[in-house]
Amino acid sequence: MSARLDFTDVTHAYARTPVLQGVSFQVEPGMIACLLGASGCGKTTVLRCIAGFEPVLGGTVALDRTVMSAQGLTMPPEKRRIGVVFQDYALFPHLTVTGNIAFGLRGAPAAERGARVAELLEIVGLADLGAKYPQELSGGQQQRVALARALAPRPQLLLLDEPFSNLDVEMRERLSLEVRDILKRERITAVLVTHDQHEAFNIADVVGIMKDGRIEQWDTPYRLYHEPRTRYAAEFVGQGQFLPGTLLGDGRVRLELGEFRPDSTLPWPAGTAVDVLLRPDDVLHDDASPLQATVLHRAFRGAEFLYTLRLPGGSEVYSLVPSHHNHAIGEKIGIRLELDHLVAFPRDPATARTAA
């Protein structure tokens, strides 16, 4: 069922405006990949090139070593064994749930169609709703129907274009986990496009952060968060602040909060001014710590507060603190750093000018 996708050095343009600039990545059989980025970065164009809706100007798109797109070659979408789940679901309003799911099985024997539809209704949790019409369903139910319809012909690859964007936050998170379970159970290779990093991290095994038609980093969600390789990736994923520091001769980095040694040697000479990324979970509340920070803002999240803290030197950091530590704005609290992954970049000149 599942297949390997190779997207190799692909370029594309609209009206001579470059959209994809040498994009490359691979998705192994049964893996779920996600293209994550802001609007206009090119992620949906990647999906359209995989599906065959757009030609490529350079590079190749291959599924299990069969080239489907190259310069001057575009295999028709209907011959690619690729399923697509669209942002607006694209269900047929005049067909029942059963009719929508069976649409992709035209030409198959009736008994085979009926068995496959019944199987998928069970898989997506809609076994009792086969006779309903799309307009009688909730948004989450409609999305399940769209997923079942795309899975019906047993595609080798499934593409999902912002599939949860029309749902509320709670439904989006719950359904993304359900869809992941379904794809893993069915052993489907999939590529998801989204601008929502929580959604990407919920569902994907590997995520590619896109910017200006290129992939900044292709990695696991864990490594993207804790070990970003570019400043853009560090700023785009998660919350965090950069704290100014200086690289010392023995490989350590001096910050206002102390001296720390990175996991690996930083490739710059001693004395280099750097910006060190601090995530909210790097800054721990510690009443016994002599280092004090002032609470500037706080956001209550139920089990925890997200505090914005000002350090004595004027820099600001975030800290996640259990909500039973209820501190007022203007109050000073003790903090300490726990840096399991020290991430640093050469000092941004714009940041340095702002600080000055």
Asked if residue 269 and residue 183 are part of one domain, the reply reads: no
Query: DSSP string spanning 295-331?
Result: EEEEEE-SSEEEEEEE-TTS-EEEEEEETTS---TT-
Clarify whether residues 223 and 310 are in a common domain: no
Q: In what order do the strands lie in the sheet with 189-194?
A: 82-85, 157-161, 189-194, 32-36, 206-211, 214-219
Distance from C-alpha of 89 to C-alpha of 94, rounded to nearest angstrom: 14
Q: Helix (H, G, I), strand (E, B), or coil: what is residue 218?
A: strand
The number of distinct structural domains making up the chain is 2
Q: In what order do the strands lie in the sheet with 58-63?
A: 17-27, 5-14, 58-63, 66-70, 73-74
Which amino acid would we find at residue 16? R
Average of per-residue pLDDT across 39-45: 94
Last residue of a domain, one of 231, 264, 281: 231
Q: Residues 61, 163: one domain? A: yes
Domain CATH for 263: 2.40.50.140
What is the number of other CB atoms lying within 10 angstroms of the CB of residue 269?
A: 8
Question: Looking at residue 283, what DSSP letter applies?
Answer: E
Could you tell me the pLDDT band of residue 172, with boundaries at 50, 70 and 90?
confident
Q: How confident is the model at residue 356 (pLDDT cuts 50, 70, 90)?
A: very low
Question: In a 10 Å sphere around its CB, with 0-12 CB exposed, 13-18 middle and 19+ buried, how is residue 132 labelled?
Answer: middle
For 300-325, what is the mean pLDDT? Answer: 94
Looking at the structure, tell me whether residues 167 and 267 fall in a common domain: no
Question: Do 69 and 138 have their domain in common?
Answer: yes
pLDDT at 350 over 70: no
What average pLDDT does the structure give for the chain?
93
Residue 348 and residue 211 share a domain: no
pLDDT tens, residue by residue, 51-106: 999 999 999 999 999 999 999 999 999 999 999 998 888 899 999 999 999 998 98
| Domain coverage including residue 323 | 240-355
Q: How far apart are the first and last CA of the chain?
A: 59
Q: What pLDDT score does 341 carry?
A: 85
What is the pLDDT, as a whole number, of residue 353? 42
Question: Do 211 and 246 reside in the same domain of the chain?
Answer: no
User: 301 and 343, same structural domain?
Assistant: yes
Q: Please report which confidence band the pLDDT of residue 355 belongs to, taking 50, 70 and 90 as the band edges.
A: very low
Read off the tokens for 122: 């069970």
pLDDT score of 1 more than 70: no
Same-domain check for residues 270 and 217:
no
State which of 231, 252, 287 marks the end of a domain. Answer: 231
123 & 245 share domain: no
Last residue of a domain, one of 193, 209, 231: 231
On whether both 220 and 249 belong to a single domain, the answer is no
The CATH number assigned to the domain holding 221 equals 3.40.50.300
Q: Which residue stretches of the chain are H helix?
A: 43-51, 97-102, 110-123, 139-151, 169-186, 197-203, 221-226, 231-236, 349-355
Same domain, 211 and 244: no
